[in-house]
Copies of this chain bind each other. A is one copy, B any other.
Amino acid sequence: MSGIWGNNIKVSIFGESHGNAIGITIDGLPSGFEIDMEKLLFEMERRAPGKNELSTARKEKDLPEILSGYFEGRTTGTPLCAIIRNKDTRSKDYSKLKDYMRPGHADYTGHIRYSGFNDYRGGGHFSGRITAPLVFAGAICKQVLEKEGIYIASHISSIKDIKDDDFNGVNLTREELFNLREEELPLLNKSLEHKIRHKILQAKYEGDSVGGTIECAIIGIKAGLGNPFFDSVESTLAHLIFSVPAVKGIEFGKGFEMTRMFGSEANDEFYYDGDLVKTKTNNNGGILGGITNGMPVIFKVAIKPTASIAKEQNTIDINNKTNVKFRVEGRHDPCIVQRAVPVIEAVAAIGILDLIKGAGQ
């Protein structure tokens, strides 16, 4: 199986980059929820390509059409399906893709997995474009969560070797998080913006690409969410985050950095702040034993450099069974980290809402 996830909120994703439409069905939404369409489209806009020189010049009109589960401006509670028609699809650009397996892409693995019957145009079902429906679904989940006082936001934690600061894990305000959403390159240390922009454009001019990391924070989750073992908050979020193309790593709290600490440094000591239980540090990213402890939930995600580059590369022609040299034609993102930000937030929102809906259990 592949395109369906969830226990209490289920999403069912479908579509190929150059097929008729892409879309998603969300099952388990509360009934009577008023969706703020402007906010929803704003989230989709954050992911959309073609906004500026940092991303591909392709223009996608990602206007979703809601087919079901939505009546008189509110969710009905029955499955909500939305689709996005595919339009600006220059199929010619991708003609070689049928035989030339682009390095770093899923062309080869998809070819084997589906015995050569997959729709190879533009990466088909593996295209980053299929994350648009994820953002759609996540945007609704985000709105539901915000009504319960839970807010999700992220900043670009690094682009190549340029590192932003880390979130202050013990003190994060809603305002700080909201402001990040407005930025094209959301950074805590805004002085890095010029340097990062330059780094991305430099890669672009060299026909190359760069990657980076995203740090995501979720505030407002009460202590006690999640489960030991197989449905821990970490398992749930990691499962979803690795569904996003180009993600190659995830760490919670200080993650890999924690492995270089002593236990006495790494342990987050508890204390009473009035009636509230807090921790002095938040190395564990708000999660202990797979369950939230009431502190901000924080995690970092590794996004590899865009696989599509203009530089010449070696690869195979799977039809002729020969080694070949080629260039990936068409327009590409020199960096997709900034476009991945709303996708990471979206799947995190889906995961957290799923856990919350199961928490009555």
Which residues on A are within 8 Å of B, measured CB to CB?
Answer: 1-8, 10, 12-16, 19-23, 25, 27-28, 31-32, 65-71, 74-81, 83, 101, 103-106, 108-110, 112-119, 124-126, 130, 158, 160-161, 203, 208-213, 223-232, 234-236, 238-243, 245, 247-256, 258-272, 275, 277, 279-280, 283-285, 287-293, 302-309, 311, 313-316, 318, 321-323, 357-358, 360-361
The 9 closest A-B pairs by CB, nearest first: A106-B289, A360-B360, A249-B251, A209-B263, A2-B227, A109-B291, A12-B12, A249-B255, A104-B267
Known: A255-B302, A358-B8. A277 touches B108 (CB 8 A): yes
Contacts of A260 in B (CB 8 A): 158, 160-161, 211
Other-chain residue from B114, B264, B289 in contact with A126 (beta carbon distance below 8 A): B289
Complexed CA–CA distance, A229 and B126 (Å): 8
Q: List 22 A-B contacts (CB under 8 A).
A: A1-B358, A3-B78, A15-B67, A22-B68, A71-B119, A71-B124, A77-B118, A79-B125, A106-B289, A113-B225, A126-B228, A208-B264, A209-B262, A230-B240, A234-B248, A239-B239, A243-B290, A248-B251, A249-B255, A249-B256, A251-B251, A271-B316
**Are A230 and B3 interface neighbours, CB within 8 A?**
yes
**Are B235 and A77 interface neighbours, CB within 8 A?**
no
Other-chain residue from B16, B101, B210, B272 in contact with A322 (beta carbon distance below 8 A): B272
With most chain B CB atoms within 10 A of its CB, the pick from A15, A271, A304 is A304
Complexed CA–CA distance, A25 and B79 (Å): 12
**Are B323 and A272 interface neighbours, CB within 8 A?**
yes
Complexed CA–CA distance, A308 and B28 (Å): 28
Other-chain residue from B2, B16, B158, B269 in contact with A313 (beta carbon distance below 8 A): B269
Contacts of A292 in B (CB 8 A): 109
**Are A248 and B242 interface neighbours, CB within 8 A?**
no
**Are B223 and A266 interface neighbours, CB within 8 A?**
no
Complexed CA–CA distance, A310 and B54 (Å): 52
Complexed CA–CA distance, A357 and B357 (Å): 10
**Are A113 and B2 interface neighbours, CB within 8 A?**
no
Known: A79-B13, A112-B223, A357-B361. A242 touches B32 (CB 8 A): no
Complexed CA–CA distance, A307 and B271 (Å): 17
A324 nearest CB across to chain B (Å)? 9
Contacts of A21 in B (CB 8 A): 67-68, 81
Complexed CA–CA distance, A217 and B179 (Å): 42
Complexed CA–CA distance, A228 and B128 (Å): 11
A126 nearest CB across to chain B (Å)? 4
Contacts of A161 in B (CB 8 A): 260
Known: A4-B10, A112-B224, A313-B269. A263 touches B119 (CB 8 A): no
Known: A230-B3, A288-B108. A14 touches B238 (CB 8 A): no
Known: A258-B305, A259-B212, A270-B101. A81 touches B23 (CB 8 A): yes
Q: Which partner residue on chain B sits nearest A131 by CB separation?
A: B229
**Are B14 and A4 interface neighbours, CB within 8 A?**
no
**Are A267 and B71 interface neighbours, CB within 8 A?**
no
